[in-house]
Structure 1
Amino acid sequence: MLLLLIFGIVLLPKAFALKCYECLPGLSACTDTPKDCPSSTHCSAMRVISYAGSSKLSELSMKTCALAEQCVEGSINFGVSKTVLSTKCCTSELCNKQPAPDPPKNNPNGKKCYRCDGKTCTGTLNCEGNEDYCVSSEVDVGGNKMTMKGCASKSLCSSKGSAQIAEGLGSELSCCQGNYCNSAGAAIASLVILVAPLISLVLFS
């Protein structure tokens, strides 16, 4: 009986682990490769799109295993640049065959945050779609500190991940709730662990 219990403890995680497609961006075009994922993860397809104004700068697509808290959608909008994250997660075998959907077309939602023009951060940015938080940061660009302010989706804001954001963006990036709350000194919550490295890759590589 004890032996059966031990086998059950060892084998159960594997029995309930999903097999998902993995396709990670690299130097060459990626192909879907089946992968055994850890237990308690989902299959995911993700798309990260970077814009400069209304022009699309780059698009990054990937498929992999993901934790439930990484299955989020949203955007970060600095006015001069915007990054949109679209994620589709599922919980059946090899269910992430299709790429993540195109993000929806967003219209102004009535929320307003400060944005920066050069060294001045008193301009108004009209938030779009589900961007219901304001965001602010000082980013290290070529050895110079650049202040960036704008709008962010609630789904991308979390109290975790400060260390990875500092590494990826060059400084802490913070969210707050309320119109124009991202004035000097406003710092409430850091962005989620998953999104920060992707944003730094798309915006600042």
Structure 2
Amino acid sequence: MHLFTLIIGIWLLPRGDTLTCLECDLAIAGTCNATHIECPSQGYQCGASREVYYGVGLKLQDVEKKTCVLPEMCGQESVNFGAFQIVQKTQCCNSTNCNSKLPEPSINPPNGKKCFSGSDLTCEGKILPCEGNEDFCVTITVETGRQTTLKGCASKLMCSKLSYVASLYEGAHVSCCKGDLCNGGITTSAGMQLVVVAIVSLALFS
């Protein structure tokens, strides 16, 4: 009887309120037609993410996403292959539908760290100065009949995301290391860049 009373008491305890946030899937920045979503637990916050693709210093694409996020997903992250770079910034908040405003990702100055880059198809083993919180050298390898590899700089969270997404693709592998030029030399191909962009995009918004 006491056990039954205890179970009923626990079931009747008031549950902590969870946030309601604005939500929209990937859209060109500024065109998001947001709906509302209730976050799955109290550990989540409302997040507004903006992802910018840069090529040779020019902005090529600018997309956004809004949804519930975990606190560790907040902040800015990036991956840089020299000829192109992808920067994502997620701004988080803790009140109802507070994620209406988009953050502005920034290109940060070099941080003193260096990695081998493989995005310049005409120059093997090019040394790339890392930027902002790109504290790791990254190597992305894909087996597509033959092994192709692309290398550059990445932030810690980006390394974790890339590793997870690569694990979903047969023949794809991501490794990150900490230390100047720890990612060795480079071989790459034009087709490889398309594979990498797909993996990175999935990683950023997974």
| Bucket of the pairwise TM-score, normalised by the shorter protein | 0.7 to 0.9
Larger radius of gyration: 2
- 1:136 paired with 2:131, answer no
**What is the letter of the counterpart of residue 180 of structure 1?**
L
User: Residue 131 of structure 1 contacts residue 153 of structure 1 at CA under 8 Å; is this kept in 2?
Assistant: yes
Whole-angstrom distance in 2 between the partners of 1:163 and 1:110: 27
1:201: how far off? 5.2
Tell me the number of residue pairs that the alignment of Structure 1 and Structure 2 aligns.
Answer: 185
Of 60-69 and 111-120, the range deviating more from structure 2 = 111-120
Whole-angstrom distance in 2 between the partners of 1:132 and 1:179: 9
User: Residue 162 of structure 2 contacts residue 174 of structure 2 at CA under 8 Å; is this kept in 1?
Assistant: no
Runs of 4+ residues over 6 Å off in structure 1: none
> Any idea what SS the aligned residue of 1:24 has?
strand
User: Residue 45 of structure 2 contacts residue 93 of structure 2 at CA under 8 Å; is this kept in 1?
Assistant: yes
Aligned to 2:32: 30
1:118: how far off? 3.0
Unmatched segments (≥5 aa) in structure 2:
186-196
Aligned to 1:188: none
Question: 1:202 and 1:67, CA in 2 relative to 1: closer, same or farther beyond 3 A?
Answer: closer
Query: Among the aligned pairs, what percent are the same residue?
Result: 41
Whole-angstrom distance in 2 between the partners of 1:169 and 1:83: 23
Whole-angstrom distance in 2 between the partners of 1:79 and 1:161: 17
> Any idea what SS the aligned residue of 1:156 has?
helix
Whole-angstrom distance in 1 between the partners of 2:135 and 2:123: 23
> Any idea what SS the aligned residue of 1:113 has?
strand
- Where in structure 2 are the equivalents of 1:1-205 lying within 5 Å? 2=6, 3-8=8-13, 11-12=14-15, 15-25=16-26, 29-39=31-41, 40-99=43-102, 101-116=103-118, 117-118=120-121, 121-139=124-142, 145-158=147-160, 162-167=163-168, 171-183=172-184, 199-200=200-201
User: Residue 48 of structure 1 contacts residue 198 of structure 1 at CA under 8 Å; is this kept in 2?
Assistant: no
Please report the TM-score for the alignment, with normalisation by the length of structure 1.
0.76
Whole-angstrom distance in 2 between the partners of 1:164 and 1:105: 25
**What is the letter of the counterpart of residue 30 of structure 1?**
C
Whole-angstrom distance in 2 between the partners of 1:134 and 1:161: 12
1:199: how far off? 2.1
User: Residue 27 of structure 2 contacts residue 63 of structure 2 at CA under 8 Å; is this kept in 1?
Assistant: no
Please report the TM-score for the alignment, with normalisation by the length of structure 2.
0.76
C-alpha distance after superposition, 1:65-102 (max 9, x if no partner): 11222224111000111100100011222111211x21
User: Residue 48 of structure 1 contacts residue 59 of structure 1 at CA under 8 Å; is this kept in 2?
Assistant: yes
Measured on the aligned residues, the alpha-carbon RMSD in Å equals 3.1
